[in-house]
Amino acid sequence: MRLRLLAVLLAGLLLVTGCATVPTKGAIRNSSREGLASDPGGVGVEAKPPPEGAEAQTIVDGFLEAMSDSRKSFGQARLYMTPAAAAKWKPEASTVVYDQGDDTITPKEANLVLTATKVATIDDRGEWLPAAVTPKKFEFPFTMVKVGGQWRVDSVPPGVLLGTNQVAAKLAPRDLYFFNRDRQTLVPDPVYLPQNNLSPGQAATQLIQELLKGPTKRLGNGAVSIAPPGAALQVSVPVELGEATVALNDTAGQLVDDDRHKLAAQIVWTLNQIGLKVKITVNGAPLLPESPGVIQFSAVTVTDADPAAPTNASANLYGLLAGKVQRVEGLDGASEQAARALNESPLYNLDAESFAVNLKGDTGAVVTTNSDGKRVVAVAKLAEPAPKSNAADPLTTLIEGRTLRPSYDNSDNLWILDRADGATPRLRVRTRDNKVEVVRANFRGDVPKVLRMAPDGVRALLVLKSAKTGKNTVQTATVRPADDGKGLVLDQFRDLQMPLTNITDAAWYKKGVLVAGKVASNPLAQPWLVNLDGSNPQPLPGSSSPFGIKTIASNPNPDILPAFEDVDGSLHWQGRDLQWVNPTDEKLANGLIPNYPG
């Protein structure tokens, strides 16, 4: 009977947390992400060598358990293999996460075959690639031969095979931070790294080593690392009393002052998620001469690059009521609930189909029809000085066909996706200097339903109607410079593989994504929370909503209260206590379509 470890499940759902097999060869010396999903624990296993005289199945069981322990560069796992197989095995190449709740090992000819449901694949940088929502079985044959009278595995796995009950115990969700194209806003790049009870110094060394490798394939050249080629740690990162000293080689010394501050922001944000204060040196001297000690997380150059809530970001809720632009007050209970008409804005005079607000909360954009009968996206300030007759006319961009609600990034670029009902949907960006540029995108026949840009202007969140299945999916994509140097492209589409049907909306939320959709056990669409890479889908924490969700209002700002329009057009939101709040203002209860800046 095969030994099984206790399976860790979250709310009855298959645990879908990420993992990675980054190389662990070479000593990590120690002087003394925050993930979106909570850590559900796990049963840690310290790999043991194969017992003498063990049967073939016992050897396979031990090998699978030993693959979850990378503390000694998988040395114990290699003891279960023949010398030839151990020499060929490359555990750092990838990880296959499988459901250890339904796996079997059965004899087949001269082999023992592992059959299990594939949950995800993790590449060599720690990127989580979820398997299809419809469970698929995979098989791996363990060829068994005797070496010196002992059974050993003679087949080479494709990297590491990791059961779901070991994911949380062995791997940690982390973010690496890089800059967007204009080098103003940080972009989180989620990876999953071996934790195996690492000390603070080992964990810090691991993170900085990964950071200095640059962005993963998910971001590619859409994000920028300020660290110059060849920048590396001089020594492993020592940690004393919660302070990490990152000692870089002299390659980083070539950076100009502004880039030194940006590199400091990358490092400080990356190490802040494991609770460390940071000192940075270059060839022994401070990276920032004015900050020879700890670089404060509150420093202007650090906070200005905030990927979730940029400087001066607005946390107000806005919306449309009967086609008129509104600002919503009183969600936090500090004032009376009310929808206030933005009648000082030139946009108020327009009949709007949808409404977007920039992250500062001072400018808006609506999809509308102008006085000439042409469909446009109109842009104007949300408040104009009196007298109202002096207000500037909105700036307009012509649109064609069905047009999604526009979306702003932190640089005041406005992203517009029209022709959404045609064969070739068109994505464009209206820059802050009012130039309109086409962003090349191939939607592969899928129909765009929702577009939400992250504040960094690099990551796109989409709801797409699949050309193959006719069902809506939630996907992320990356905006990056084209390989031919001509403009921008949208690519690197990643399906989050949500276990939902009837998906109607998706929005950024803190460090993850909120999705509106249904599960078989509930006839009402509910808000679901998922990590940026598709791992750990779960209902939004708090009590289940007694109404069906249609539209989500949210953005990454941690200070916002997500709001939802139900299928009957009423507005609801969660209070700080995670309980649902129903509006007392009749206008909020009937017909307001909500949205947050972004």
86-133: pLDDT as tens digits: 999 999 999 999 998 889 999 988 799 999 999 999 999 999 999 988
Residue listed under structure tokens 């005797």: 146
pLDDT-based confidence at 25, cuts 50/70/90?
very low
pLDDT at 109: 82
Please give the angle made by the CA atoms of 554, 557 and 563, to the nearest 5 degrees: 25
pTM for the whole thing? 0.89
CA distance 526 to 549: 6
In whole numbers, what is the pLDDT of the chain averaged over residues? 89
Q: pLDDT tens digit string along 129-149?
A: 999 888 788 999 999 999 999
CA distance 393 to 396: 9
The number of angstroms, rounded, from the C-alpha of 33 to the middle of its chain's C-alpha atoms is: 11
Question: Would the pLDDT of 33 be above 50?
Answer: no
pLDDT at 380: 96
Helices 257-272 & 200-212, crossing angle to 10 degrees?
130
pLDDT at 384: 66
pLDDT at 473: 97
Q: Work out whether strand 580-581 and strand 592-595 pair parallel, antiparallel, or are unpaired.
A: unpaired
pLDDT-based confidence at 390, cuts 50/70/90?
low
Q: Work out whether strand 104-108 and strand 111-122 pair parallel, antiparallel, or are unpaired.
A: antiparallel
CA distance 80 to 272: 39
The mean pLDDT of 530-557, rounded to a whole number, is 94
pLDDT at 456: 97
Question: Would the pLDDT of 193 be above 70?
Answer: yes
Structure tokens at 114: 């592992």
Q: For residue 143, give the nearest of 64, 56, 76 by alpha carbon.
A: 56
DSSP letter (8 states) at residue 475 = E
Ranges of beta strands (E only) in 270-323 are 277-282, 285-286, 317-321
Domains of the chain, by residue range, sit at: 173-303, 317-595
pLDDT at 385: 58
For the CA atoms of 422, 424, 430, 435, the dihedral, rounded to the nearest 10 degrees, stands at -120
CATH architecture of the domain covering 317-595: 6 Propeller (2.120)
The DSSP bridge partners found for residue 438 are 428
pLDDT at 587: 82
Question: Would the pLDDT of 12 be above 80?
Answer: no
pLDDT at 355: 98
- Spatial contact of 355 and 325, defined as CB atoms under 8 Å apart: yes
pLDDT at 442: 96
Q: Using CB atoms within 10 A of its CB, is residue 475 exposed (0-12), middle (13-18) or buried (19+)?
A: buried
Question: Would the pLDDT of 24 be above 90?
Answer: no
pLDDT-based confidence at 73, cuts 50/70/90?
confident
